[in-house]
Amino acid sequence: MPIEQTEPRIRRDPGFPVAWLIAPATLWLVAFLLLPLLAIFVFSFWKASGHGLTPAFTLENYQNFFAVEGFFDPQHESFLTPSIFLRTLWTTFRFTATVMAICLLLAYPLAYFLAMQVESFKWQLTLFLLVMVPFWTSYLIRAVAWLPMLGRHGLLNEFLMSTGLVDEPVSFLLYSEFSYTMALVQLYVVLAVGPIFFSLAKIDRALLEAARDMGATSFQIFREIIVPLSLPGVAIGMIFVFVLLMGEFATAVVVYGGKTSTTGTIILNYYGIANYPFAAVNAIMLMLAMMIGVIVILRLVDIRKEL
């Protein structure tokens, strides 16, 4: 006679099977994230033919990226003139770095205010949401919205004239580095506020209280406790802003009148003239620059405890 098992069944693995839970999303990511990136990598070694791509293995596209205008070319007079593509990548990076710095300067005090100075949780959430709302609206339209502000008869000029700072309208406001930087800051600063706010809000208030009881001044508390503990949030916010800015291409057209190009616009232009391999090379170079940037940020700050 079989012995009836009276012990309760031991559930070694409660819940739905992991494989089923992750399968759909994993397949989706393979199809729409991994394959496109792989395609860029492979196509960057292919040849452009009249109306598309021909399989090949050539480094010609990479050579064109670097070698135009005599870079690495001893015969050329302007030996060290980098190609337009390298210079564009550099410009893209320069704008990105400037905008990142401004975003950090603007976002930190704001996040500090929300996390440390607003006491009621309800208000904290409301004021935070108010800052976040633009992130959920169209960024193209937010870029367009700068047009009436800038320009010769824009609101900023009117304001400057009414305060007597300038006598006649200044022209550097629209279609200039100034307008471009300003619009980018306004578009992306919100992304820096979020992570910094979260890391500040997580700081244990007892720590600050203890430091205060031991006689630390507000500034000491800020420098020795708040800043170090908020660094992971700063790093995450800066990574967000960095990668999105490096991939930026539409804003330049709207508020800079297309006077500058970013690597993003170059990619679009070469896609437009059906030179897919060269668009791919620019994309690879952009990715490389971004990876280096992200690694540098991660080197400076250890964000692992935040994830």
How many Cβ atoms sit within 10 Å of the Cβ of residue 61? 22
Q: Which is nearer to other proteins, 83 or 236 (CB)?
A: 236
CB of residue 65 vs other proteins: minimum separation in angstroms? 15
CB of 228 to other proteins, least distance (A): 20
Nearest distance in Å: CB 66, other proteins = 20
What does the alpha-carbon distance between residue 267 and residue 280 come to, in Å, rounded to a whole number? Answer: 7
Query: 3-class DSSP state for residue 73?
Result: coil
Which parts of 19-58 interact with other proteins (CB under 8 A)?
Answer: 21-22, 24-26, 28-29, 31-40, 43, 52-53
CB of 302 to other proteins, least distance (A): 16
Closest by CA to 241, choosing from 94, 88, 103, 105, is 103
Eight-state DSSP code of residue 135:
G
- Segment 135 to 154, residues that bind other proteins, using CB under 8 A: 136-142, 144-149, 151-154
d(C-alpha 213, C-alpha 221), whole Å: 11
For the bound state, the minimum distance from the C-beta of residue 80 to other proteins, rounded and expressed in Å, comes to 29
How many of the chain's residues bind other proteins (CB under 8 A)?
87
Cβ proximity of 176 and 128 under 8 Å: no
Per CB under 8 A, which of residues 150..189 are in contact with other proteins?
A: 151-155, 158, 186, 189
> By CB under 8 A, which span of 13-21, 96-104, 202-210, 295-303 interacts with other proteins?
13-21
Q: What is the nearest approach in angstroms of other proteins to the Cβ of residue 83?
A: 20
Q: Is 289 in the site for other proteins (CB under 8 A)?
A: no
> Is 267 within 8 Å of 252 (Cβ atoms)?
no
**Tokens matching residue 185:** 């800051």
Nearer to other proteins, 21 or 76 (CB): 21
What is the DSSP secondary structure assignment for residue 151, as one 8-state letter? S
Q: Are 215 and 174 in contact (CB under 8 A)?
A: no
Tell me which of 1, 4, 7, 16 binds other proteins, using CB under 8 A. 16
Report residue 64 as tokens. Answer: 């064109």
The one-letter amino acid at 112? Y
Q: What residues between 230 and 259 interact with other proteins by CB under 8 A? A: 239-240, 243-244, 246-247, 249-250, 253-254
Q: How many CA atoms lie within 13 A of 159 on its CB side?
A: 8
Place of tokens 């300003």: 182
Place of tokens 């700081």: 203
Q: Which stretch binds other proteins (CB under 8 A): 56-64, 67-75, 82-90, 281-289?
A: 281-289
Residue found under tokens 């060290």: 80
Nearer to other proteins, 46 or 71 (CB): 46
Q: Which of 134, 161, 170, 301 binds other proteins (CB under 8 A)?
A: 134
Residue in the structure block whose two tokens are 């006598």: 167
- Tell which one of 1, 3, 10, 18 touches other proteins (CB under 8 A): 18
**Quick one: which of 89, 103, 234, 283 contacts other proteins (CB under 8 A)?**
283
Closest C-alpha among 254, 242, 262 to residue 141? 254
| 113-132 positions binding other proteins, by CB under 8 A | 113-114, 117, 127, 129-131
